[in-house]
Copies of this chain bind each other. A is one copy, B any other.
Amino acid sequence: MFDINPRSSIPIYQQLVEGVKEAVARGVLAPGERLPTVREMAAELALNPNTIAKAYQKLEQEGVIESMRSRGTFVAERLPEANPPAAKATLTSLIEKVLVEAYHLGVDSEELRRLFEESLQRWGRGGEK
């Protein structure tokens, strides 16, 4: 389900965090849905339970999931809004990194705009509203 690369320079727990966030964003994991327990996930991915626990704790901290004592871990109900100006700043900064990368890969604005629209469309057929 989540493909983890233990040799990557990106920490394993962070790969898991990103994987879960992507699954939620794509609607593969629905709000309220139960995640595997720490131990199940550890067995499935052949990782140490501590590593999974760390990822779950980060995800909880970000508000993506909620741990309920001795009941398990669940995808959080989506909170309506948060901090729009901060959200825009974060996204603009991410977008600018894409623009920098595009420049160095020799991809021009026209082509980049096309790739962006394609991703947005493909995504739309998935989970984003």
Cα(A104)–Cα(B6), bound, Å: 23
- For A7, the closest partner residue in chain B by CB is B66
Number of interface residues of A (CB under 8 A): 56
Cα(A79)–Cα(B104), bound, Å: 9
A95 contacts B116, C-beta separation under 8 Å: yes
Contact of A90 among B11, B101, B103 (CB under 8 A): B101
B99 contacts A128, C-beta separation under 8 Å: yes
Cα(A118)–Cα(B100), bound, Å: 15
Residues of B within 8 A of A115 (CB): 88, 91-92, 95
Cα(A113)–Cα(B92), bound, Å: 11
- For A96, the closest partner residue in chain B by CB is B119
Contact code string A90-129 (vs B, CB < 8 Å = 1, else 0): 1110111111111111111100110110111001100111
